[in-house]
Amino acid sequence: MRNIILGLAAALLIVGGVWYYTQIKPKFTLELDSRDTIASWDFQGSHNDGGELEARVTTEMEKLQAALEDEATEPTDYSIYVSMAGQYTLLGDGKNTLKYLEKALAIDSVKTGLAWHNVGVLMERLGALNTARTAYARAAESQSQIDAYHIARFNFLVKHFSEDKEAIDAALNEAAIEFGEDDRFVMNARAEWLEIQEEWQDAIGVWEKILIVSPEELKSGIRAKIIELQTSAKNTKNEATHEGQ
pLDDT digits (tens, 9 = 90+) for 119-138: 999 999 999 999 999 999 99
The structure's pTM equals: 0.83
pLDDT digits (tens, 9 = 90+) for 53-65: 999 999 999 999 9
In a domain, 175, yes or no: no
φ/ψ (deg, to 5) at 198: 60, 30
In a domain, 114, yes or no: no
Residue 177 · residue 147 · CB < 8 Å: no
Residue 139 · residue 114 · CB < 8 Å: yes
* Domain assignment of residue 243, given as a range: 198-245
Q: Where residue 10 falls among pLDDT bands split at 50, 70, 90? A: very low
In a domain, 236, yes or no: yes
pLDDT digits (tens, 9 = 90+) for 213-225: 999 999 999 999 9
Beta bridge partners of 93: 42
Burial class (CB in 10 A: 0-12, 13-18, 19+), 198: exposed
Number of domains in the chain: 1
In a domain, 237, yes or no: yes
- The alpha carbon dihedral of 192, 185, 83, 123 has a sign of negative
Beta bridge partners of 42: 93
Nearest one of 118, 50, 202 to 109, comparing CA atoms: 118
In a domain, 180, yes or no: no
Inter-CA distances, 141 with 69, 144, 145, 174, 194, Å: 31, 5, 9, 9, 24
Taking phi over 0 as left and psi of -120 to 50 as alpha, with beta for the rest, 198 belongs to: left
In a domain, 230, yes or no: yes
Q: How far apart are CA 178 and CA 150, in angstroms?
A: 10
In a domain, 226, yes or no: yes
* Residue 175 reports pLDDT greater than 50: yes
Helix (H, G, I), strand (E, B) or coil at 93: strand
Nearest one of 167, 173, 109 to 143, comparing CA atoms: 109
In a domain, 216, yes or no: yes
